[in-house]
Amino acid sequence: MDADAKKTALRMIPYGLYILTSEAKDGRVAAATVNWVTQASFAPPLVVVGVKADSGAHDIIKESGSFALNVLGKGQQGQAFTFFKSLEREGDSIGGEAFSAGATGAPVLANALAFVECKLVDTVEKGDHSVFVGEVVEAGVRGEISGRADDATLLLKDLGDSVFYGG
């Protein structure tokens, strides 16, 4: 396989940006920018997210059995970059971003454009990432969305010409 062709072809897949959050029973939180996300079922509503197997978020999601996907909107590049690194909880904020506990206990960021909270229903552990399948148990949208809802979502390409994931 041509490694450069593989990298280029995989980088052609468009990605939205989300902040994945979860909280362990002992109060530790996970918060990370992710982009391997898709809806997988309408009934029941399921989403899947790819999470690096050796990350703290991976362990916390498996332990807690729940997670939230906080959808970033256009103009929220700063939040995406903030959560590229590991952060600790600071009271009711993570990395300076306020949150409240959602229905599952997962942190829901106050400034996210939208969110979905999920209970973990399955995990596929292959390669360097695991796929978590979550059933949506709560969702919310902040503010009015005009036009197509997916046009409001911050995309990986919105972070600049030199920011890529994978390949």
Place of tokens 């898709």: 38
Res 144 pLDDT > 90:
no
Residue 92 domain flag: yes
Structure confidence by residue, pLDDT tens digits, 9-33: 877 777 889 999 999 999 999 999 9
Residue 35 domain flag: yes
Residue 165 domain flag: no
Res 164 pLDDT > 70:
no
What is the structure's pLDDT at 106? 96
Cα torsion through 14, 16, 21, 22, rounded to 10: -50
Residue 52 domain flag: yes
Residue 167 domain flag: no
- Determine the average pLDDT of the residues in 33-58: 94
Residue 2 domain flag: no
Both tokens of residue 9? 């072809």
For residue 3, the tally of other CB atoms under 10 A from its CB is 8
What is the structure's pLDDT at 166? 61
Residue 166 domain flag: no
Structure confidence by residue, pLDDT tens digits, 99-116: 999 999 999 999 999 999
What is the structure's pLDDT at 43? 96
What is the structure's pLDDT at 117? 97
CA distances from 151 to 42, 121, 158, 166 (A): 21, 29, 12, 23
Question: Could you tell me which residues come within 8 angstroms of residue 43 by beta carbon, excluding any fewer than 6 positions away?
Answer: none
CATH number at residue 47: 2.30.110.10
Residue 36 domain flag: yes
What is the structure's pLDDT at 15? 84
- The average confidence (pLDDT) of the chain is 91
Structure confidence by residue, pLDDT tens digits, 63-81: 999 999 999 999 999 999 9
Question: Could you tell me which residues come within 8 angstroms of residue 33 by beta carbon, excluding any fewer than 6 positions away?
Answer: 17, 18, 19, 20, 80, 81, 83, 84
Per cent of the chain over pLDDT 90 is 69
Per cent of the chain over pLDDT 70 is 98
Q: How far apart are CA 77 and CA 85, in angstroms?
A: 14
Q: Domain span at residue 130?
A: 15-157
Helix (H) or strand (E) holding 77: helix 77-82
Structurally, the chain folds into a number of domains equal to 1
User: Which pLDDT band holds residue 157 (cuts at 50, 70, 90)?
Assistant: confident
What is the structure's pLDDT at 155? 86
Res 162 pLDDT > 90:
no
Helix (H, G, I), strand (E, B) or coil at 3: helix
